Structure 1
């Protein structure tokens, strides 16, 4: 049972350091569940635990993010662990420990969110008014939506678990739901979160604006171009709070955090660090440089006509080797960047392009708007406007822009899969490899999860 994280109880997995006093209770079997979230303080602490799971090393701290870029075409593996090379070779096995860790971490996050969603509305405490309850529950709905979004785009068909876990076997035997149903759950959670949250700007906590940003990404993946454009626009027009910063490195260099570039980022401190930098930084900076930009990406990002000021993403170590420099702080307090305003510009550009008829040129209003959005991102990187003038060329230009803009963020693999371009760009001959395998250790624990995804 020890690896079946997605079926473990909330009380055996919540271990964030700030929650220790809250969790100083007897073993689960002898404690009434009602004692766990029962007042304002325990409700707030439970929400902190949800964010802690989201920020963990196996989720957005490092592991899940690595699936998004190691599978792409920007990164090389310099270490000796074959499981990482499996992503670069696009031949991931069901025994891959990265896959298993990410799966478990995402379901851990869902488990914590389920507790908050179910329990907080029933809490009676004069210090916990309805508005505060709404904020807590709305944030939990948002995080659960993000978790199921990540499950859907990574594995496709997965179990839908939306009720709190009371015992270690509660979720055993639940079959996987089809990918479309998982995506429907994402939208359902976002729709529930939206009215509960306020239309404020908070770059570390979910607000209604954060919901809009994830809805824009969701609709992009689902091919609903009009809604993808609509929700991206809600943030882009809010230029008092969100804007593309010049030069490119302004949102992360010099210990910057929570800049106007950021829509949603995860906070880390010297006490709770982000281990991501250790994989990127070279030995001279206390890292291992176990993954590094490959030659193709180094050439792109250092090309003044392609990378522009984004060349600050890479640097050379004392052995003249290139390394990635998005995560660099010591102690490792680098934020994890989940949504940036640059993404919203490029989502809107892609959505607008896809609403233009085939064969459209710049005379088409939607295509002209797409080019304007693309050029906004290019201008911020110190580049001239795109030479693309037809729909097909603009869509390709957006794809190439996203490759460089989000090189060390978890987008490239998922971009190529959702557009059907992975087979051409990455030379993947078996399209079944577009989805990752269900971890073997989970299948052994719960046969109801099987059979595995086709091709594994």
Structure 2
């Protein structure tokens, strides 16, 4: 029996938990948030505590929400990288992201700011109110650990996107002294993130969790990634490389059921949600919300049960696609990250798409495959952390500390072997060449997962798909728009409406 929170707050009897054992329906979901209720009357029972943390999980799905016609919030972190482009060009905000001409009024930027701070607000409500509820202590500790993870996860996005940001750790109302909070230095934000995650490590969370709730492995993975980021720009705390390697190694050494999938198809097989390679994902279920990645479908071509549909507003840039080795399985049609042909209406005759599209999130169960009609119910989760990234974090961080090692090489080789690529022998690498090999693999393995932009910023480097080397961030030309990255692009502008609402957010980030 698995806890599966799906429905809404009932104003008469409070929030309830729906228990179900239905096959494949282990998503942790909710539709409303308890910040609209009075805390004194709401936070009184264990059921309220469970429902409150469910609301925080639900808030995290802002990543998949819409951002105007033919666009979604997740495109915010892909369009500026230069690895994708669009076929439709009908959303001006998205076009501005591709062209690096976005500003403080760009819808995606505003949506991410508000989405992040809503997660933080409801996590703060949990952390402030649940400790006083009389309930089983282990259950309470777990809920508080989950809230700390989710708050840290949200702040980690915010500090990388905007730099100095408001650091809010308590519930806010119109009478709060810091109702108009000032921006805190990035170092203080990272201190809170590390503290939250360190406390979450000791919250009694299970090592893995097939229901989609936060696990011990997810906490350690996020902490490893935070340390890796702190070691890079702008903090340059290089001692954190050792911390990142150590934390990633804890996941590797205690992997248990965590493993690389044997095939890439398992990554977008909804029957594998929250298992195997998936360490943490945003939960989707057709009863509440379908997987939101449909802007990756080709533009009005009949690849699903819906017939001619899709928007094509995120497709791979052909130069990035060509940067994969020809023998790389991830490049092969319907084998890895791309497809160049599919079955008419999902289950009919095979037809040529004319160019590569992104297959990484294509759900055969929902959309259909040869001879098998789709269910029209897209229950595929949106992956946030997976084991392949843990292996790459360890390889990169340990190389920065001690140079190439057999264990780091093993992880890199495991990823490349799955792609049916050979890896040069360990002895052929020095520290610099091994770093480049690892980073190239990050660009190719983790593509379209909302990670590449943050690698560009922390490294101040961008993978050059033509030369196979790495350019300086400032001066690199994105081939999808032929626009040059500038110093100002290392941070995004604060949303203008938020600066109007809170005058203490000034000054605006440089260049905007």
TM-score by length of 2: 0.77
| Corresponding position of 1:313 | 337
**SS of equivalent residue, structure 1 residue 91:** coil
Q: Distance in 1 between matches of 2:440 and 2:270?
A: 27
How far off is 1:305 after superposition? 4.4
**SS of equivalent residue, structure 2 residue 105:** coil
Q: Distance in 1 between matches of 2:13 and 2:140?
A: 24
| Corresponding position of 1:221 | 229
How far off is 1:139 after superposition? 0.3
| 1:203-260 Cα shifts (integer Å, max 9, x gaps) | 5111222211111101110111111111111111224311112123322247532231
Query: Of 226, 229, 247, which residue of structure 1 is paired with 2:263?
Result: 247
Is residue 70 from structure 1 mapped to residue 67 from structure 2 by the alignment? no
How far off is 1:386 after superposition? 3.7
How far off is 1:17 after superposition? 6.1
What is the correspondence of 1:215-364 to structure 2 with a 5 Å cutoff? 215-223=223-231, 224-253=240-269, 255-282=271-298, 283=300, 284=302, 285=304, 286-301=309-324, 303-305=326-328, 307=330, 312-316=336-340, 319-329=353-363, 330=366, 331-356=377-402
Residues 371 and 60 of structure 1, relative CA distance in 2, 3 Å threshold:
farther
Query: Of 484, 487, 490, which residue of structure 2 is paired with 1:431?
Result: 487
Residues 390 and 91 of structure 1, relative CA distance in 2, 3 Å threshold:
farther
Q: Distance in 2 between matches of 1:242 and 1:84?
A: 36
Residues 164 and 379 of structure 1, relative CA distance in 2, 3 Å threshold:
same
| Corresponding position of 2:423 | 385
What is the correspondence of 1:43-62 to structure 2 with a 5 Å cutoff? 43-57=49-63
How far off is 1:169 after superposition? 7.2
Residues 22 and 346 of structure 1, relative CA distance in 2, 3 Å threshold:
farther
What is the correspondence of 1:165-184 to structure 2 with a 5 Å cutoff? 165-167=172-174, 172-184=179-191
Structure 2, unmatched stretches of 5+, are 15-33, 232-239, 342-350, 367-376, 463-470, 478-483
| Corresponding position of 1:108 | 118
Instruction: Give the strand-richer structure, 1 or 2.
Output: 2
Residues 170 and 63 of structure 1, relative CA distance in 2, 3 Å threshold:
farther
Is residue 92 from structure 1 mapped to residue 102 from structure 2 by the alignment? yes
How far off is 1:58 after superposition? 5.2
**SS of equivalent residue, structure 1 residue 192:** helix
Q: How many residues align?
A: 428
**SS of equivalent residue, structure 1 residue 374:** helix
How far off is 1:419 after superposition? 0.7
| Corresponding position of 1:418 | 458
| 1:293-351 Cα shifts (integer Å, max 9, x gaps) | 11012223472148466952111365524321222333232211111000000000101
CA contact (8 A) 2:242 2:397 kept: yes
**SS of equivalent residue, structure 2 residue 81:** coil
Q: Distance in 2 between matches of 1:138 and 1:60?
A: 30
Q: Distance in 1 between matches of 2:96 and 2:329?
A: 29
How far off is 1:106 after superposition? 0.6
Residues 122 and 91 of structure 1, relative CA distance in 2, 3 Å threshold:
same
Query: Of 208, 222, 243, which residue of structure 2 is paired with 1:201?
Result: 208
How far off is 1:417 after superposition? 1.0
Structure 1, unmatched stretches of 5+, are 1-15, 358-365
Q: Distance in 2 between matches of 1:179 and 1:30?
A: 30
TM-score by length of 1: 0.86
| Corresponding position of 1:147 | 154
Q: Distance in 1 between matches of 2:171 and 2:492?
A: 27
CA contact (8 A) 2:280 2:384 kept: yes
How far off is 1:135 after superposition? 0.7
| 1:364-385 Cα shifts (integer Å, max 9, x gaps) | xx44433222112111222111
Is residue 453 from structure 1 mapped to residue 504 from structure 2 by the alignment? no
**SS of equivalent residue, structure 1 residue 334:** coil
Residues 380 and 35 of structure 1, relative CA distance in 2, 3 Å threshold:
same
Q: Distance in 2 between matches of 1:324 and 1:168?
A: 49
Q: Distance in 2 between matches of 1:287 and 1:56?
A: 21
| Corresponding position of 2:9 | 20
Residues 29 and 434 of structure 1, relative CA distance in 2, 3 Å threshold:
closer
**SS of equivalent residue, structure 2 residue 354:** coil
Query: Of 34, 43, 55, which residue of structure 1 is paired with 2:40?
Result: 34
User: Relative to structure 2, which stretch is displaced further, 161-170 or 342-351?
Assistant: 161-170
RMSD (Å), alpha carbons? 2.7
How far off is 1:182 after superposition? 1.1
Residues 137 and 397 of structure 1, relative CA distance in 2, 3 Å threshold:
same
Q: Distance in 2 between matches of 1:156 and 1:306?
A: 38
Residues 31 and 322 of structure 1, relative CA distance in 2, 3 Å threshold:
closer
CA contact (8 A) 1:58 1:102 kept: no
Q: Distance in 2 between matches of 1:287 and 1:64?
A: 16
Query: Of 160, 164, 169, which residue of structure 2 is paired with 1:157?
Result: 164
Higher relative contact order (CA 8 A, sep 6+): 1
**SS of equivalent residue, structure 1 residue 322:** strand
